[in-house]
Structure 1
Amino acid sequence: MKNSLNWDSSEWMESVQLWTNQNLSKYGLEPIGNLQKVSGWALGQIFKQNTNDGFYFFKATAFLPLFSNESKLCSKLSELVPEYVPETICSSSDKQWMISKDFGGGLPEYADKSLWAKAFQRLANLQQQSIKHINELIISGCLRRQITDIPKQLNEILNDSNITQYLPDEFRLKKEELVFKVKQSIEELENFNIPSTIVHGDLHIENIAQINDDFLFFDWSDACISHPFIDGTYIFRMPESEDKETIVKAYLSQWSDLADFETLQKAWNTAELICYAHQAISYASMKKTLTNEQMKDLEQAFLNAFNRILPE
């Protein structure tokens, strides 16, 4: 990768500190002490910097083929839809570095499911807002990943021994069936005529912050322009329950100008397999790009993503 190989070096850390200090000073902010590491792995590094006006967060994102340019995209989102995302005060698209104002962090994994419903309702509003900004978002580093491209991409992956050697034999034996079923689902979903929007790509509760009664969405490295229901991956994986029904209803209710609820529910159900295929393609891309050492923390997620597309 272009920037992660030296993330542990003192030279990289010095350059990050210098860049952070210089950019904070442009806004009249005085750093107090040095950057403190919050988290880091092969996909990105996050630090926080104390200042005379509280904490600001620095993030470096890996350059990966199916990653959007997060720094550039977040700057644009902060400009176009500031009520939905943390404020990005500065960024470097060449380095994929950015500094954001402290927004309190994500909700905990154990957060009440009622918060999921409110958050996904707000996500639908953000997605709809994004429709009028699609071209600007693409220019600002957001990839276009059409669902109609998925069958070809999935077929290439399932015929690539560099990927399939790490998968159960079932994928080799059933690859034609898998691709056909995904293609069939995509053709069916396309018939509902739901417009492409911005898609977060990794939307779980820990990538959502609550500010009073509103929600902010962050960690946009997996973002793309695609079918909005691609963002339902984590909801699809929930066990069937009243909570899950409430979340789905809250989200789909915001699309009522396109179709009645029953039709939207059919579209949502059709999107499930497509969501899983989209995510499997993302993980295959990581597998082909990252070293074995860098993939260590992602191996289980890679396998899980593929196993979800297998027929039950």
Structure 2
Amino acid sequence: MSSVNSTHSHPSAFILTGIPGLEAVHIWISLPFCAMYLITFFGNCIILYIIKTEKSLHEPMYYLLSMLAATDLVLSTSVTPKMLAIFWFHSREIYFDSCLIQMFFIHCFSFIESGVFLAMAFDRYVAICNPLRHLAILSTSVIIRIGLAILIRGVVISIPFCFLLVRLPFCSNRVIMFSYCGLGNVAKLACGDTLINTVYGLTVSILLMGFDLTFIALSYVMILRVVFRFKSTEARLKAFSTCISHICVILMFYMLGFFTFLTNRFGHNFPLYVHVIMANLYFLLPPMFNPIVYVVKTKQIRSQVLQIINFNRS
């Protein structure tokens, strides 16, 4: 049997290709990706700084927004620096343990972000449908418990991804035709049966995201029922304005996520580089647009950002 077909527990390292088929233009592709990451990093850091320092923003909505900003920072940072290292320095090798850690963070914080969106939808429901008890229902202690529950859910669901991968024997092929370590990308290199990995990954993703999306939709259905009962047009518009930023970031996250999922599963006619670019954008576009949307749509945050800009100019 040739060495190509030989197996062992797992290789010491894998080789990431970046974007297959576009190696000649990696440096040019890296420029917009780098710009998006810088906007993501500084935009979310500014959101966190403003919410931490401005006491008037110490409310449920902004606590949840700070969770979203922190999640976006971790999610984008788990993928982008290594991707840019591949583009700029041809640093393609990634150790097996580092690959597992990256895979864990990708899946874990994707699930956490979905959970934060669900919590934000519940916050908007309470704020509009039961405004007098909003702060009593979603007290600081409750928000902390919600955040811990979302974190624990993401960790508990993501840990089996790593264990299921470690148990597999791997062939001598170490080349991952992607720019990061995803469960499906790494499992393709295994010589053993990956059915359990595939079933667990699909089942967890569909059930968890489906659960979150269902209750997000129910929250907004109930919000709309209450809003349309308002007699004042001004009151309706004010209620809608408090939800529009949340709806925008939800649509960006889930639409791009589903498009990426469908492209990878059923878009066999698309070139591989299309799959890789779409997957990378999933980790860059939503985290980049989230702080922009909230700065534009949220008066309190926008005023604080303008104060920072004016202070730096003076």
Whether TM-score is above 0.5 comes out as no
Tell me the TM-score normalised to structure 2 length.
Answer: 0.26
| Greater percentage in strand | 1
Tell me the TM-score normalised to structure 1 length.
Answer: 0.26
| Greater percentage in helix | 2
Larger radius of gyration: 2
